[in-house]
A and B are shown apart, each in its own frame.
Chain A
Amino acid sequence: MHYAPAPLHIPDGFLNVTVSAICWVITVIVIGMAVSRTNKSLGEKQVPLMGIMAAFIFAAQMINFPVAGGTSGHLLGGALAAIVLGPWAGMLVMTAVIAVQGLLFQDGGLLVMGANILNMGLLTAAIGYGLYRSVMNKSTGTKLAVAGVAAWLSVMAGALATALQLWLSGTSSLQTVTIAMLSVHALIGIGEALITVAALSFIFRTRPDLLGEGSVSAEGGRGWIAAGVVVSLLVVLLSPLASANPDGLERVATDLGFIEAGQAAPYEIIPNYTLPFLGETPLSTILAGAIGALIVLGIVVATGRSLQKKTS
Chain B
Amino acid sequence: MHFDAFDRYHDTGSFIHRLDPRVKVVVTVAYILSNALLPDGAWTAFGLAWLFLLFASALSNLGPGFTFKRSFIALPFALAAVTVLFSIPGSPLSTFHFLFWNLTITDMGLLRFVSIVVRSWLSVQMAILLVATTRFPDIVHALEHLRVPAILTTIIAFLYRYLFVLVDEVFRLLRAREARSAAAPGSRSGGSAAWRARVAGNMAGQLFLRSYERSDRVYNAMLARGYTGRLNTIHPHEMHRMDYIVTVLALFIILLFQLIGRI
Say if the beta carbon of A164 comes within 8 Å of chain B: no
A104 touches B7 (CB 8 A): yes
A73 CB, nearest partner CB in chain B, Å: 6
Of the candidate stretches A128-136, A197-205, A227-235, A291-299, the one touching chain B is A197-205
Instruction: Choose one: B40, B193, B198, B262; the contact of A68 (CB below 8 Å).
Output: B193
Report how far A16 CA is from B131 CA in the complex, Å.
24
Closest A-B pairs by Cβ, 8 of them: A198-B201, A51-B158, A202-B205, A13-B120, A13-B119, A11-B74, A194-B197, A12-B123
B116 within 8 A of A: yes
Q: Which residues of chain A are within 8 angstroms of B130 by Cβ–Cβ distance? A: 103
- CA–CA, A249 to B74, complex, Å? 29
Cα(A203)–Cα(B8), bound, Å? 35
Decide if B127 touches A106 in the complex (CB within 8 Å). yes
- Whether B5 contacts A1 by the Cβ 8 Å rule is yes
Q: Is the CB of A13 within 8 A of B200?
A: no
Residues of B within 8 A of A93 (CB): 155
Question: Counting CB contacts under 8 A, is A276 at the interface?
Answer: yes
User: What residues of chain B lie closer than 8 Å to A62, measured between beta carbons?
Assistant: 167, 170, 174
State whether A198 and B202 are in contact (beta carbons under 8 Å apart), knowing that A13-B123, A59-B207, A84-B208 are contacts in the complex.
yes
> How many chain B residues have a CB neighbour from A under 8 Å?
93
Report the stretch among A42-50, A236-244, A252-260, A303-311 that lies at the interface.
A42-50
* Count of chain A residues near B, Cβ 8 A: 91
The reply to whether A276 and B207 form a contact with Cβ atoms under 8 Å apart is no
B residues near A2, Cβ cutoff 8 Å:
170, 174
* B199 interface residue per 8 A CB criterion: yes
For B159, give its contact among A10, A44, A54, A199 (CB under 8 Å).
A54
Dominant SS among interface residues on chain B: helix
A81 to chain B, nearest CB (A): 10
Residue B63 lies at the interface, judged by CB distance under 8 Å to chain A: no
* Chain B proximity mask over A25-50: 1 for CB below 8 Å, otherwise 0: 00000011001001100001101111
Q: Are B33 and A107 in contact, CB atoms less than 8 angstroms apart?
A: no
B95: Cβ under 8 A from any A Cβ: no
The answer to whether B32 and A12 have CB atoms under 8 Å apart is yes
Known: A13-B117, A44-B229. A92 touches B32 (CB 8 A): no
A53-77 vs B, CB cutoff 8 Å, 1 = contact: the mask equals 1111011101111111000011100
Does B196 reach chain A (CB closer than 8 Å)?
yes
Scan B167-178; emit 1 where CB is below 8 A from any A CB, else 0: 101100110000
CB distance from B83 to the nearest CB of A (A): 4
Give 24 pairs: A residue, B residue, CB < 8 Å, sorted on A.
Answer: A11-B77, A11-B120, A12-B120, A13-B36, A38-B151, A47-B151, A51-B157, A59-B207, A64-B200, A66-B190, A66-B196, A92-B151, A97-B159, A102-B127, A104-B131, A166-B81, A170-B112, A171-B80, A172-B80, A173-B83, A173-B86, A194-B197, A196-B201, A274-B262
